[in-house]
Amino acid sequence: MERRKFIGKAGAGIAGIVAAGSAPAFAQGAGEVKWRLASSFPKSLDTIFGASEFLARRVAEATSGKFQIRNFAAGEIVPGLQVLDAVSNGTVECGHTASYYYIGKDPTFAFGTTVPFGPNARQFNSWWVQGGGEALMNDFYKEHSLRALLCGNTGAQMGGWFRKEIKSVADLRGLKIRIAGLAGQVLTKLGAVPQQIAGGEIYQALERGTIDATEWVGPYDDEKLGFNKVAKYYYYPAWWEGGAALQVFVNGKAWEALPKEYRAILEAATAEANTWMLTRYDTQNAVALKRLVGGGTQLRAFPRPVMEACHKESLALYAEISAKNPKFAKIHEHMMRFLEEQVLWFRVAEANYDGFMQTGRKPAAAAKSPAAKK
Ligand code: CA
């Protein structure tokens, strides 16, 4: 009895100290929080879907399991392209998706992912984290009851799989290509016929010749989807995705209701997942590209006149949209001004270093094949 009294008093004493603020706020016990995350991607794409699984694991680890985020693949709660609505209307607390899937609502959504001839992954991260991009985009997302946290990037994407070679701008005429977003609108100006086809149906469409070409992401994902079996030519680069960024969108009310320490943990975990996804793509793409080329895939660069024509039409499209949409105009101007500075800087040290590493030196001995060593 005496001992219990003592423990009781001691306990009250500790509680008093905690209340006085000498222990971390965490010790006061932010309660259990259980969120559902709707992903726009299938589980089979373990890099892009894997990023949200990684995020959920890190959040659980950092909160001793008190803040749990359960992941749902595309179609489990809502179809992949309805994730943003599901977050916005509170069906789920958060979602992992590509902002540019929603340009039908407002083309300004494109800037959350990327736009044709936009920044590469490094430059996008710089724009978002240091250049004011995050504040600008979250101002825009707020109108849709959303809070966005940067969470992943694919790096520069491949231009996709073509059944026939593209040797000139004229070869784009009549080309039926599965491609989404603003890039589709650019290609329309050059006579191509963009198609919207859900991820799971692309392979069949390409196999049957319903489409002539498709783009997706890069070697690792594209190989999983089997496009190399039904198209021979693998083009680069995707001038429309110099680096495609992903976000975790959080419902505005859910964000406000989230304890401050959980917000900080979620911000830290999404930043970590952002790195996790890009590094995983960079690592896996290198290996997958070798496998594809070894299996007969023919690599092709888009001819420079094709790149230039697409660039010209992209600028025309930006001017058209900006004339009608002040929100688009404001963010476009901001991103491109930032990008101009970045390109000037990158062409000095970064590009010259990369150029020499790629073509000016002998590969490291460890990278040579056993046959080459002999
Ligand atoms: Ca793509």
Which letter does DSSP use for residue 191 in this model? Answer: T
Which letter does DSSP use for residue 43 in this model? Answer: T
CATH (one of 3.40.190.170, 3.40.50.11140, 3.80.10.10, 3.40.50.620) for 3-156+242-283: 3.40.190.170
pLDDT per residue over 145-186, tens digit each? 999 999 999 999 999 999 999 999 999 999 999 997 899 999
Q: How many A from CA of 269 to the centre of ligand 1? A: 25
Q: How many A from CA of 160 to the centre of ligand 1? A: 8
pLDDT per residue over 33-63, tens digit each? 999 999 999 999 999 999 999 999 999 999 9
pLDDT per residue over 69-117, tens digit each? 999 999 999 999 999 999 999 999 999 999 999 999 999 999 999 999 9
Sign, Cα dihedral of 221, 227, 229, 234:
negative
pLDDT per residue over 226-242, tens digit each? 999 999 999 999 999 99
Separation of alpha carbons 100 and 305, rounded Å: 27
CB atoms within 10 A of CB 353: 10
Alpha helices in 169-250 (DSSP H): 181-189, 202-208, 219-225
Q: How many A from CA of 331 to the centre of ligand 1? A: 22
**Does the pLDDT value for residue 15 go beyond 60?**
no
**Does the pLDDT value for residue 302 go beyond 80?**
yes
- Binned at pLDDT 50, 70 and 90, residue 20 comes out as very low
**Does the pLDDT value for residue 22 go beyond 60?**
no
Separation of alpha carbons 216 and 224, rounded Å: 11
Beta bridge partners of 37: 71, 94
Which tokens sit at 340?
């101009």
pLDDT per residue over 113-134, tens digit each? 999 999 999 999 999 999 999 9
Domain boundaries, the chain: 3-156+242-283
Instruction: Say what the pLDDT of residue 237 is.
Output: 98
How far lies 1's CA from each of 4, 8, 366, in Å? 5, 11, 72
Q: How many A from CA of 244 to the centre of ligand 1? A: 8
Q: How many A from CA of 79 to the centre of ligand 1? A: 18
Q: How many A from CA of 216 to the centre of ligand 1? A: 4
Instruction: Say what the pLDDT of residue 180 is.
Output: 77
Over residues 13-26, the mean pLDDT reads 45
Residue with the bigger pLDDT between 323 and 29: it is: 323
Instruction: Say what the pLDDT of residue 201 is.
Output: 83
How far lies 11's CA from each of 19, 23, 171, 227, in Å? 12, 14, 78, 64
Q: How many A from CA of 29 to the centre of ligand 1? A: 43
Separation of alpha carbons 167 and 120, rounded Å: 25
Q: How many A from CA of 307 to the centre of ligand 1? A: 16
Instruction: Say what the pLDDT of residue 369 is.
Output: 55
Give yes or no for a contact between 186 and 193, defined as CB atoms under 8 angstroms apart: no
Q: How many A from CA of 195 to the centre of ligand 1? A: 13
Over residues 249-267, the mean pLDDT reads 98
**Residues by chain with Cβ below 5 Å of ion ligand 1:** 157, 215, 241
Q: How many A from CA of 241 to the centre of ligand 1? A: 6
Over residues 194-214, the mean pLDDT reads 90
Residue with the bigger pLDDT between 144 and 2: it is: 144
Q: How many A from CA of 141 to the centre of ligand 1? A: 23
Separation of alpha carbons 150 and 202, rounded Å: 28
> Identity (one letter) of the amino acid at 324?
K
Q: How many A from CA of 57 to the centre of ligand 1? A: 27
Q: How many A from CA of 152 to the centre of ligand 1? A: 14
CB atoms within 10 A of CB 297: 21
SS3 of 300, please?
Answer: strand
pLDDT per residue over 343-360, tens digit each? 999 999 999 999 999 998
Q: How many A from CA of 367 to the centre of ligand 1? A: 29
